[in-house]
Amino acid sequence: MFFFNGFFYLANGIFVAQPGAVSKKIIIIAGALVALLGGGAGIYFFQPDLLPEFIRPKDLARDKQGKKLAEEKKHEPEIGADLEVFVVNLVGSGATRYFRTSLSLGVKTEKEKEIVKESNGPIRDAVITYLSERTADELLDPQGKTKIRAALRKQINAVLEKPIVMNVYFKEFLIQ
């Protein structure tokens, strides 16, 4: 029997660990792993700004821009300015299709609501002109509705010559 690299070599070809030699190595390696994992977890949860963008948690509360947008939306109550019903012919081949809708415009103040009511004629003209250029497929597509809301908001704000309208809501939506 002789000693080699922390092990005892027995005559029959078996290596036996020296008592305490391997267990110290395992404890040191385990301690280093725990320290590394603990440090990484601490950075991930408490200092995510130090991490690269692709590893960073996607938490809205920690995101500076998301937090700013959430605060802005929280402090901006909307007042609804309802418009009368719109009925337009839709573009497309085949049978004539009709679109009937009523809209509500989200504005910030009562004064802006009055401005919308005073500009009812030009707003209706812009909405009718825009909607009559759409097809039934565009209106039925869920993403298309979102695009139409955004485009209507842009058209109406262009008519008003200032960004008064924050949102456009469909109160009624019928395609025939």
| Cα 50 to Cα 41: distance, rounded to the nearest angstrom | 12
Q: What is the mean pLDDT of the chain?
A: 79
Q: Specify the pLDDT at position 89.
A: 87
Q: Where are the domains of the chain?
A: 2-73, 79-175
Determine phi and psi for 18, rounding to 5 degrees. -70, 135
Count how many Cα atoms sit within 13 Å of the Cα of residue 73 in the half-sphere of its side chain: 7
Q: Specify the pLDDT at position 61.
A: 46
Determine phi and psi for 144, rounding to 5 degrees. -65, -40
Strand partners, 135: 91
Q: Specify the pLDDT at position 109.
A: 86
Q: Specify the pLDDT at position 7.
A: 58
Q: Which of 67, 64, 48, 66 is nearest to 56 (CA)?
A: 48
The pLDDT tens digits for 38-87 are 888 887 777 777 777 777 766 544 555 566 665 655 556 788 888 888 88
Place of tokens 């385990």: 30
What is the CB neighbour count within 10 angstroms for residue 73?
A: 10
Q: Where are the alpha helices (DSSP H) in the chain?
A: 21-46, 64-74, 110-118, 120-132, 136-140, 142-160
CB-based contact 131:89 (threshold 8 Å): no
Q: Specify the pLDDT at position 146.
A: 86
Q: Specify the pLDDT at position 14.
A: 63
Q: Specify the pLDDT at position 53.
A: 74
Domain 79-175 in this protein, CATH class: alpha beta
Q: Specify the pLDDT at position 92.
A: 78
Could you list the pLDDT tens digit for every one of the 176 residues in the chain?
555 555 555 656 665 555 555 577 778 888 899 999 988 888 777 777 777 777 776 654 455 556 666 565 555 678 888 888 888 888 877 788 888 989 888 888 889 889 889 888 999 999 899 988 888 888 888 888 888 889 999 999 898 888 888 888 888 888 88
